[in-house]
Structure 1
Amino acid sequence: MKLLTPIQIGNLEIRNRVVMPSMTNNYTKDGYVTQQMLDYYEARARGGVGMICVEDGIVDFPIGNNAKNPVSIDNDKYIPMLTKLSTVIKKHGARAAIQISHAGRRAGRVSHENGCMEVTRGMIPVAPSIVGHPFPGHVVPQELRIEEIEGIVEKFGQATRRALEAGFEVVGLHCAHMYLCGEFLSPWANKRTDKYGGSLENRLRFVLEIIERMKKELVNVPLICRMNGQEPEGGNTLLEIREIARRLQLAGVKAISVSTGFGAVLNERDFISAEAPIGTPEGCIVHLAENIKTGITIPVMVGNMIRNPEFAENVLLENRTDMITLGRPLITDPDWVNKVSAGKVRDIRPCVSCCQGCVGYIAKDLPITCIMNPVAGKEGDLSMQPVPAEREKKVLVIGGGPGGLETAITAASRGHKVTIWEKEQQLGGTVLLAELPPRKNELKKIRDYFSHTVSQLKIEVELGKEANKELIKAFKPDAVVLAIGGQSITPLIKGIAQNNVFLANDVLRNNMTLGEKVVIIGGGQVGVELAELLGEKGVSVTVVEALPSVAGDMSSAVKVLLMFKLEDYNVRLLTNTLAKEIKANGVLIERNDAEEFIEADSIVIAVGSAAQTSLEAELKEFVQEVYAVGDCLKPGSILGAVHDGYKVGLTI
């Protein structure tokens, strides 16, 4: 495979064409690399990747921070831990790179919880112009003075020196995602009238000065640059972007990493975000890399939504790019490259671009994890590593959803004899319903992976088998795991027993026809995704939500696309609204201290689910070990179910 062949960046050979790009993980402490971060990156280096580009090293901490807990490289005190980081990466044959950055105006994010600018520790951010970042909760920045610009150029130079002293073999300059360098490059953010603004030549000046300063430190060490392949209206055109890349090569850059987007909640239609959430086409920005590649001769790398090895190989064979940046898939499965090399592609844990544990956790200032990888960020935690069972146990898992399947796989891999009972005719549980709304069919990859792994481990599966106390007792298990899912909540609303009232899960499961007008009570993820599904079919939909906003349980990267679709289908979203009474022809609601009647053919209840724990107590009478995982224990997400299942699988 071309994907696995070496390539040169400058004078440095990379063992294959897979690059782990910079991704914030929130594992640092006060700017320092931590043991958690060392373990995380070492696992990916051990997994066979060609080069790892460590997340943004901030050249001016904290005013240049891109997140609440970034890596800092603005002081020599950080060098020892950075040295440990480059060492663990190189130890396994991967090349160690670090991207250095200043977040500019994007640093000025106000916390939803306390109204403080926690990212910058209260400092007002800086930018080329007094133009705020177009995200909710961002403050207007200060415009940089000439002497301040010169000072930042020097900070990039000093950061480069520290990177080399720490043993990094490649240094990256972050000019993408509308951080400070990208802000200077783009007329969308740069409104200056001096030598740093106006013409493309002037807008390039800041970045070229930084490169010139970095090159004084970079003796025989390649410099790579990450840049946006597209910008929104008012930004650089595709021709200007191609010219920027050409000028970067002339300035001494040895490779270009192509990205896009300015964050997860840019409300601009048809603009591809850096997060490329679920439903985004595979290879969604390869054409942007091609545009850049036509004007330069140095290697180009691209990713954003490349996860399938066959697709990656074809992109390389067609010469549309030279290298593949593999981000979130390496969070999900650190051994992605090794598995491809061994011909075990079906063994790869799939990234489904759900943006829950990665982008979603970053937005909450939490350390990242992954819906499909409970060990992400816990690679050094011995309690999270599977060890052979002391003795084989007969384990019965009741329920073939994500929590039950993860439990079964983990327990079986440790040497237990595992049987799954599933009342439906196929495995999947909640995933079967979650994959039905528009753009969510990628979730089927979760089912495919689990089914394949269950087969590989020779776990016995009995479909169409509903468990009860007598059957379980006759089976004589040593351990029972309840993974039977939650029970849909029916709220106390007058008239809810009407025959025109249905539960959301039943509507999805049975593909029900509900008439021309539908009211959905509950505006969480299930409710709004069902609203889109019905709207797509031409149904007039109203969503009634008691909270101030809908889809509060969704990652903003995924939510933004959904909200566009709800707008397209004229879905009416009523927040801060209570359903008072259901009648045969509609719903009486209360909002803004006034009542309103909404006509409807059908009313759908989507207010969540409750735990089902009654069987657990009964089983403890005759089974020594009884566990509950997923929604039957505590209603939540697929992420919670998988993580619960993994921990129980380690415990049995």
Structure 2
Amino acid sequence: MKLLSPIKIGNLEIRNRVVMAPMTNNYAQDGYVTERMFHFYAERAKGGVGLVTVEDGIVDFPVGNNAKNAVAIDDDKYIPMLQKLSAAIKRHGARAAIQLSHAGRRAGRVSLHNGYLEVTRGRLPVAPSVLAHPFPGQVVPRELRVEEIEEIVEKFGQAARRAAEAGFDVISIHCAHMYLCGEFLSPWANKRTDKYGGSLENRMRFVLEIIARVQKEVGTDFPLICRMNGQEPEGGNSLLEIREIARRLQLAGIKAISVSTGFAAVLQERNFISAEAPIGTPEGCIVPLAENIKIGVSVPVITANKIRSVDFAEGVLQQGRADMIALGRPLIADPYWVQKVAAGRYQDIRPCVSCCQGCVEHVLKGVPITCILNPRAGKEGEIEVNPAPPDRQKKVLVIGGGPGGLEAAVTAASRGHNVTLWEKEKELGGTILLAEKPPRKGELRKIIDYYRHQVEQAGVKVELGLEASKEAVTAFQPDVVILATGGKPVRPAIKGLEQGNVYWAVDLLKNDCSDIGEKVAIIGGGQVGVETAEWLAEKGKEVTVIEMLPEVAGDMAHAVKVPLMLNLQDYGVRMLTNTRVKEITGAGVLVERKGVEELLPADAVVIAVGIEADNSLEAELKDQIPALYAVGDCKSPGKIMDAVHEGFQVGLQI
């Protein structure tokens, strides 16, 4: 398998062609690497990755920060902890790389809570030109003077020296995602008229000066990678210019090109691929962009972004479309991805479904990243799944085969408990069976497939089509019961709810029922409401979404929300925010907007105002079972991540 074969970057041999992509994780503290980071990165090295790339090392902290809790490399005081980090990675046979970066104008993100520039810690961001990054909450940066540009070049050089002293085998220079280097390269962001702007030669000057300064510190043979955009929005570099940039980077001494795209936050631009392509985006969405660059260079080209299938990754290499595969989010989900591939255990790979909830969304919120399916992500040094002592192994009954119940069952069984799972439906999956129905959500099926295999591997006894009752449970005589029975739809206090033209979103999705008329009004503009709207609009319905809050889809990850909203716009779905429903009638929905009542004609009215806990069985079983737990929506309504993490914790503590 080519994926597992060695490759050289410059004179440095890498044990295989899998790269851990650099990803900000918000584990750092005041610029310092933490123990939490040691364990996080070491686990991926231990899992078999060839080249582990540590997230952005900021060369000008904090004005150049890319996140609220960034790693700093602009002072010698950071070297000792960086040295421990590189050693932790290399201890497991992987090569260690660090990416040097300055966020430029993208650092200027204002907190929605207090209006403070949290990322730069109150400082105004800098950029080639006085243009704000086109994303809500970004401030206009200050244009860099020539002498300041020269100072930043020097900062990159000194950062490279520190990286080499800290024991890193490879240095990557971040020229993608419209951070500072990428801003200088692109006419989309660089409007200067001096020697650092205008022609391609001038726009490249800043980056080429950085490469030369870095080489002066670490030598021309030191393996340098450049991470660059393979695509830019209208007004940016063309594909031919991008190929030429890569060619000139190689001539300057770059030993490998890592291709990315996007600007982390998704642009409101159709067909533009974000840096972390969301669920529904085609597999290997930027591989063609890597191919374009590969035509112009002879050094290894690394491709990334939404490569999930082992066979697809191998095919990219075999076809010569790229030389290495960078995995980001898949390695958060499963640090042992490479090890499992080598053993042929593809079904045991915990899947990444590109939901962006625990990773991308957490970075935007300034909190530590995690993963919906990997509760140990970021807690590798804290949590171990150890077998229960023989005298403490229990007879466990899990009721409910959704994500929370499945995780609880697998975790408990892997620890040696005797686990039985009851599911009232004819198949496992719970709410995921509904969540996968809307357009672009089919990847969620991978979660069900994964858990079905894990349940079988762990020896969990599964009984389908069996609805639990107090009598059945007590007759089973379990030592432990874990309730994962889900929630029930909220019944809003709306007059006319019993009309014959009223439907529940969960029922429509569950039964694939769309024969409800041509004009549909959906009450509730959260994730379920807007995804149901897209599902119905795709079937040709004329849809109106009614939401009492100022915005719709406020509970969705931004990267997933943007393409959904663009689709709804294309379908002509009407969005009514700040709108209160007063009554449902046979003719439609009576609403109040801006103090004015209006009847919205509708053949059908769909209720999608949320889920509430259903703890009826818990109340019946209380005091009847030695140990009783509840996870997921039956305990407190939440997302897949909440249910899985709760199920894992319960499975650990039994």
Which range, TM-score by smaller chain?
over 0.9
1:354-503 equivalences in 2 (<5 Å) = 354-382=355-383, 384-390=384-390, 391-503=392-504
1:387 Cα shift? 3.5
State how far apart, in whole Å, the 2-side matches of 1:225 and 1:265 are: 22
Does 2:36 align with 1:30? no
- The C-alpha deviation readout for 1:584-616, integer Å capped at 9, x for no partner, is 110000111111110001101101111112221
- Answer yes or no: is 1:528 the counterpart of 2:525: no
The answer for the alignment partner of 1:542 in structure 2 is 544
In 1, the alpha carbon distance for the partners of 2:388 and 2:278 equals 37
Cα deviation for residue 579 of structure 1 reads: 0.5
Summarize deviations over 1:391-414 as a string: whole Å, max 9, x none. 221100000000000000000000
Task: Give 2:243's aligned residue.
Answer: 242
Query: What letter matches 1:392 in structure 2?
Result: Q
* Aligned twin of 2:627: 625
Q: 2:601 is matched with which residue?
A: 599
Quick one: distance in 2 between partners of 1:90 and 1:594?
A: 67
The 8 Å contact of residues 389 and 416 in structure 1, kept in 2 or not, is answered as no
Q: Which residue of 2 aligns with 1:165?
A: 165
State the match for 1:99 in structure 2.
Answer: 99
* Displacement after TM superposition at 1:24 (Å): 0.4
Q: Which residue of 1 aligns with 2:131?
A: 131
Q: Which residue of 2 aligns with 1:8?
A: 8
- Corresponding letter in the other structure for 1:605: I
Aligned residues: 651
1:651 Cα shift?
1.0
What amino acid sits opposite 1:507 in the alignment? L
Within 2, Cα distance between the matches of 1:629 and 1:300? 45
SS of alignment partner, residue 261 of structure 1: coil
Deviation, structure 1 residue 389: 4.1
- Retained in 2: the 8 A contact 1:225–1:257? yes
In 2, distance between residues paired with 1:509 and 1:6?
A: 48
Instruction: State the distance in 2 between where 1:610 and 1:622 align.
Output: 24
Partner Cα distance (2:610, 2:130) in 1: 44
Match of 1:611 in 2: 613
Shift of 1:221: 1.8
Structure 1 stretches (4+) deviating beyond 3 angstroms? Answer: 384-387
The alignment partner of 2:114 has SS state of coil
Q: Distance in 1 between matches of 2:576 and 2:265?
A: 24
- Cα deviation, residue 618, structure 1: 2.4
Q: Which amino acid aligns with 1:258?
A: V
- Quick one: which of 638, 645, 648 aligns to 1:646? 648
Structure 1, residues 351-398: CA drift from partner, whole Å, max 9, x if none? 00000000011111110000110000110114x533434422110000
Are the equivalent residues in 2 in contact too, given 1:208–1:251 (CA < 8 A)?
yes
Name the amino acid aligned to 1:281. P
Which of 558, 567, 570 aligns to 1:568? It is 570
| CA shift digits 1:602-636 (9 cap, x unpaired) | 10110111111222132132210000000000000
Matched with 1:273 is 274
Cα offsets for 1:512-555 (capped at 9, x unmatched):
22210011000000000000011111101110111110001100
Distance 1:463 1:585 in 2: 41
Where does 1:74-85 land on structure 2 (aligned, <5 Å)?
74-85=74-85
What is the identity, as a one-letter code, of the residue corresponding to 1:161? Answer: R
Aligned position for 2:200: 200
Q: Tell me if the contact between 1:261 and 1:274 (Cα under 8 Å) persists in the aligned partners.
A: yes
Structure-2 residue corresponding to 1:226: 227
| Partner Cα separation in structure 1 for residue 265 and residue 252 of structure 2 | 31
Change (3 A) 1:543 1:456: same
- C-alpha offsets along residues 178-204 of structure 1, whole Å, 9 cap, x if unaligned? 000000000000000000000000000
**Deviation, structure 1 residue 438:** 0.2
Counterpart contact for 2:260–2:286, Cα < 8 Å: yes
Residues in 1 aligned to 2:36 and 2:526: alpha-carbon distance in whole angstroms: 34
Distance in 2 (alpha carbons) for counterparts of 1:499 and 1:367: 47
Matched residue, 1:113: 113
Output the CA distance in 2 between the equivalents of 1:232 and 1:29.
34
**Cα offset, 1:21, TM superposition:** 1.1
| Separation of aligned partners in 1, 2:218 and 2:299 | 17
Q: CA deviation at 1:263?
A: 2.2
Instruction: Provide TM-score, normalisation by structure 1.
Output: 0.99
Q: State the partner residue of 2:591.
A: 589
Residue 497 (structure 1) shift: 1.0
Distance 2:397 2:421 in 1: 6
What does residue 353 of structure 1 align with?
Answer: 354
C-alpha separation in 2, matches of 1:505 and 1:486: 11
CA displacement 1:485-504 (0-9 Å, x = unmatched):
00110100011111111111
Calculate percent identity across the aligned residue pairs: 70
Q: What secondary structure sits across from 1:543 in the alignment? A: strand
Query: What is aligned with 1:122?
Result: 122
Residue of structure 1 in register with 2:45 after alignment? 45
CA distance in 1, matches of 2:171, 2:387: 39
**In 1: Cα distance, 2:79 partner to 2:318 partner:** 40
How do 1:246-395 residues align onto structure 2 when only pairs under 5 Å count?
246-382=247-383, 384-390=384-390, 391-395=392-396
**Secondary structure of 1:155's partner?**
helix
Q: Deviations over 1:228-268 (max 9, x none)?
A: 00001100000000000000000000000000001223101
Aligned to 1:67: 67
Q: For 2:411 and 2:365, locate their aligned partners in 1 and report how far apart those are by CA, in whole Å.
A: 29
TM-score by length of 2: 0.99
Q: Report the residue type matching 1:463 in the other structure.
A: L
Number of the residue aligned with 2:581:
579
Q: Using the alignment, how far apart are the partners of 1:500 and 1:34 within structure 2? A: 57
List alignment gaps of at least 5 residues for structure 2: none
- Matched letter for residue 303 of structure 2: V
1:93-147 Cα offsets, whole Å, 9 max, x none, are 0000000000000000011111111000111100000111000110001110000
Summarize deviations over 1:307-358 as a string: whole Å, max 9, x none: 1111000100000000000110000000000000011010000000000000
Distance in 1 (alpha carbons) for counterparts of 2:104 and 2:601: 50
Counterpart of 1:589, as a letter, is V
**Could you say what secondary structure the match of 1:217 adopts?**
helix
Cα separation, 1, equivalents of 2:56 and 2:74: 12
Q: Distance in 2 between matches of 1:251 and 1:352?
A: 38
**Distance in 2, Cα, partners of 1:529 & 1:389:** 46
SS in 2 for 1:171: strand
Task: Verify the 8 A CA contact 2:135 2:265 in the aligned structure 1.
Answer: no
Secondary structure at the counterpart of residue 118 of structure 1: coil
> How many Å apart are 1:511 and its aligned residue?
1.4
Q: Contact 1:487 / 1:612 at 8 angstroms: preserved in 2?
A: yes
Q: Which moves more between the two structures, 617-626 or 635-644?
A: 617-626
CA drift of 1:217 comes to 1.4
Partner of 1:188: 188
